[in-house]
Amino acid sequence: MEDPSNRPTGAVLLSFFGGLLVLMSGISTLIIGSFMSSISLIPGLGVGAIIVGAGIWGIICGLVMMIGSYLIQTRPRTAHTLWGILIFVFALTSYFGGGGFFIGGILGIAGGLMAVRWDPEGVPGNISGQQ
């Protein structure tokens, strides 16, 4: 059984809450875009459809970031690099879908980088690498 104290907890928390903010901003962007589409004078030819697409993208980015943070927590030794990169990429591209009210994207970027840099063999409290 793996030691629960040897997990990238900071990366998981930043990524999860960043993904939650991105998801919430994607939902709000989707609602605003659908409202704008419904009041458009020329149906289908407005910015409402573009905003709806951006909201959908924000929802996808938020879900991927939250799922990635869960997988990093449950399988840290095998999943931290792959999901850290995916969280980083989806956090960067989440700005096309709202960006999690700006702070969600920043939290996701930081969490993704922390997950990639996490060393599963590291000794807690040992900064210099010496024993």
C-alpha to C-alpha distance for 127 and 21, rounded to whole angstroms: 32
Q: Which amino acid, residue 124?
A: P
Domain that holds residue 90: 9-24+56-117
pTM for this entry = 0.87
- Could you give the number of structural domains in the chain? 1
Q: Which amino acid, residue 108?
A: G
pLDDT higher than 50, residue 123: no
> Alpha carbon 36 to chain centroid distance?
27
Asked if residue 94 is part of any domain, the answer here is yes
The pLDDT tens digits for 81-106 are 999 999 999 999 999 988 999 999 99
Asked if residue 100 is part of any domain, the answer here is yes
